[in-house]
Each structure stands twice: as C-alpha cells, then as structure tokens.
Amino acid sequence: MTSLWLTEGSAGPGAAPLPDRCDVAVLGGGIAGTSVALHLAERGAEVVLLEREAIAARASGRNDGQLLLGLGEHYHRIHGQFGAERARLLWRFLADNHAAMLAAVRAHGIDCDLHQRGGLRLAETAHEAHELEQAAALLHAEGLPHELVAARDLPRWLPGSRGFHGALFLPGEAIVQPVQLVRGLARAAAARGAHCVLGAEVAAVTGTAGDLELRLRDGRRLRAAVAVHCTAALAPQLDRSGFLARTVFPFRGQVLASGPVLDASFPDFAMSSNFCYEYFRHSRGRFVVGGKRWSVPGEEVGIVDDATHNPQVTANLLGYVREHFPALQDVAFPHVWTGIMAGTPDGLPLCGALPGCPGEHAFLAFNGYGLSFAFLAGRCLAEQIVDGTQAHAALPLFAPRRFALA
C-alpha cells in the first residue's frame, strides 16, 4: 500500500558508502532530514544522512503535498491559542518557509509539479463560515493577504462543488508532488557533499557532544560530533533520555486518489474544509483527498502502522467526495494509502537541542504540517549548529526545552 507519489516519484540521490566519521549525522531522510542536511552541507559541515529505507519513504512521501499557512488552522484560532504576537510570528515563519523553499526549488531546478496559486479554506458549516469571517477580519487588520469568498461565488472558484458555506482564499499557499520535492532536496544535498546512506537503520546513539557513536542495525558504526534526530514518530526509540517518549505521539492520516478524471477547470489550489481536517487537491487530473480520521473511534492516534488503512475512513472519505462533488459520484479511487505523523502537546514542532543529550538535536513532530515548517526550520537549525546563531525570531517557539521546563 504505497502512495501515488511514491509510485511515480523521481529517483533520489545514489546511495553513498558509510564513512567512519563526520561532523553531523542526520537520522532520517524525510523533508526534515533532507532539509537540514542540505543546509548543513551548504555551510561546509561534513554531513552523513542515515535513512533506513529510501528518501521520502514514509510521511514525507505519503502526504497531500500542500504548503499551508497558519498550521492549517483558521487565523483567529491561532491568535486564541498562542496570543497575537506569537500568532504573527508563526504566520511569518510559515510564509518565510514557503518563500525560502520555493526559491530553493527553483535554484536547484527541482521538478516537483509546483503550483503556487494559493489555497482555499472552505466552510463545512455556517458556523465555520462565521469563523472564516473572524479569521479574515484579523488578517485584514494585520495587512496579511487574503480574500473572503461568499457561498454564492463558489461555483466560480470551485466549479462542480456543492454544500460549502463560503471560503477564505490565501494567496501564499501552494501544492507540490512531495516525493519529487524531498528527493530533489536530497539530490541537492548530495551535490553539496552530503553522504546519503540508504538502507542504514540506526539502532543506538551513545557518547556525548563531540564524540557520539551511532550503531546501525547491521552492526556498522559512525562517529559524529553532532546528531540530528529526524525520525519523526520513531525518534523516541533512539532517545536515551526518555524526553521524546514523554513529548511526541504518533497519529495516522489516510489519503485516496482517483485516476485522471478532472479537467483543467478544476483549480490547482491547496484546498481543505472542516478546519483543515479534510483536505483535497488536483494532481494531473486526479482528485486526491484525505482526512476523516476524527470520524473513527480513537481518531487513529497511537497508530504507527502505515502498511494498512482503515476501511471506515475510506468509506467516510468517499462519502465526503460524493457529498461535495456530485460529478465524482461513480468515480473509482484505486489509490489508498496511510502515513504516520508525529505530534506534540502544543501543536508546534521540536527544533533544537534535545534536553539531557549533549550534542543531539531533535528536528521532528510537525503535527501534520512538515512541508510548511521543515525547510526554513532546517536552515535555522543548521545555522545554530554551525555557528551558533538564531536566524529567525520564531525559533524559540520550537525549542524542545519548552516541554522540559513545563
């Protein structure tokens, strides 16, 4: 059960041999690991990326490929949760992430089917439409680009849809083919000297800052001055301190994709409804839709198995498609897959020193929004590791120690 993106994705970098030692060992080759490896290599660090399977094999190759603003949340809710100042910082960080990542996509010539046409947050109910108005009022007050779309205008924005109560358009959002994006970043990292060692499962990390030893499952060893954990929901297995086991939890998302049934009138926006719990997009004529984990008992929290899917989630996603897109009533969805995300109690990622483990850094738990965070956060972390600077004002919001101090 693999994703549409993985079946059609371009190749990653060729597998490199394992050296004896390096400056920085990066564990995991998803969007987090490839981003930080690229930025470290660009800053002259000798980097070894250790990936137990292939680049983008897990969540980074199994998501919906949407570059979102605002944690997928409506803006007034971010204000409510974090306060006005931190909400503004977060929004700016995500906008800066997209700008930096898309600049890199262009600079490195990464062909990832990028469509930078904005995003449409649709209201599932009249209540959500009212919340979108509240979000729009705050965006307006802060001079952030957006457009409120009335329900009567939706046929023009999203032809063939029904049952939505209005929408908020965010021009800064985009969609990509995520496997091609992440493998492109890995090739760029390799071109700058990073060693991407594939089929390299890390079994244990021992030692301390400046003298860490990473033991692989097959018995090989690597010495490194610094290690960056980018293994998402599996990171607690390698954390000697127990901090990540207390802080990070897994949850499973599910996606369906049709064959080529859409024509060019179906927009290429990043799209979602129901407070981003359901999300959908156009990809080369195919309708790709995910979400509905809230509709089953347990909400797929605690699951780390992405080799199976939940048939009830599949049925509920098909119901969503039929409710909102009547023309797709009888369309088959031959592609079904799942992916495992990592979450934290406050919904923000971990990016920085791993408490209790000198020389080790956590760079993980994007709470379902890794494409929106990881490129710029990876650059900030690389700068912190290489020359101790803190490159973005939002970075303290992601410091793992916020949970150690709690």
Ligand X SMILES: Cc1cc2nc3c(=O)[nH]c(=O)nc-3n(C[C@H](O)[C@H](O)[C@H](O)COP(=O)(O)OP(=O)(O)OC[C@H]3O[C@@H](n4cnc5c(N)ncnc54)[C@H](O)[C@@H]3O)c2cc1C
Q: Which of the ranges 53-61, 94-102, 113-121, 322-330 carries the binding residues for ligand X, by CB under 6 A?
A: 53-61
What residues contact 267, with CB distance under 8 A and at least 6 apart? Answer: 117, 120, 157, 158, 282
User: Is 226 near ligand X (CB under 6 A)?
Assistant: no
| Minimal distance, residue 305 CB to ligand X, in Å | 12
Please tell me the distance from the alpha carbon of residue 185 to that of residue 175, in angstroms, as a whole number.
16
User: Is 9 near ligand X (CB under 6 A)?
Assistant: no
Please tell me the distance from the alpha carbon of residue 110 to that of residue 310, in angstroms, as a whole number.
34
Nearer Cβ to ligand X, position 290 or 355? 290
| Minimal distance, residue 140 CB to ligand X, in Å | 25
Sign of CA dihedral 92, 370, 193, 115: negative
Interacting residues with ligand X between 201 and 220 (CB under 6 A) = 201-202
| Closest C-alpha among 168, 114, 113 to residue 140 | 168
Residue 373, CA distances (Å) to 52, 349, 398 in order: 23, 8, 10
Helix, strand, coil abundance in the chain, percent, nearest 5: 40, 25, 35
Structure tokens at 301: 């929290």
Among 104, 226, 232, 351, binds ligand X (CB under 6 A): 232
Interacting residues with ligand X between 65 and 104 (CB under 6 A) = 65-66, 68
Among 13, 33, 352, 378, binds ligand X (CB under 6 A): 33
| Minimal distance, residue 232 CB to ligand X, in Å | 4
C-alpha 52, offset from chain centre: 19
User: Is 24 near ligand X (CB under 6 A)?
Assistant: no
Among 36, 101, 138, 341, binds ligand X (CB under 6 A): 341
| Minimal distance, residue 375 CB to ligand X, in Å | 10
User: Is 59 near ligand X (CB under 6 A)?
Assistant: yes
In the block, tokens 């803006």 appear at 75
Nearer Cβ to ligand X, position 16 or 151? 16
Binding-site size, ligand X (CB under 6 A): 39
User: Is 400 near ligand X (CB under 6 A)?
Assistant: no
| Minimal distance, residue 216 CB to ligand X, in Å | 8
82 with 394: CB under 8 angstroms? no
User: Is 63 near ligand X (CB under 6 A)?
Assistant: yes
| Minimal distance, residue 58 CB to ligand X, in Å | 3
| Minimal distance, residue 224 CB to ligand X, in Å | 14
Please tell me the distance from the alpha carbon of residue 94 to that of residue 90, in angstroms, as a whole number.
6
What residues contact 16, with CB distance under 8 A and at least 6 apart? Answer: 48, 190, 195, 196, 197
Q: Write each residue from 240 to 279 as x if it is in contact with ligand X (CB under 6 A), else as -, in one continuous string.
A: -------------x-x------------------------
Q: At 91, which amino acid appears? A: W
What residues contact 231, with CB distance under 8 A and at least 6 apart? Answer: 27, 28, 202, 237, 238, 364
- Residues in contact with ligand X by CB under 6 A are 27-33, 50-53, 57-60, 62-66, 68, 201-202, 230-232, 234, 253, 255, 290, 339, 341, 364, 366, 368-372
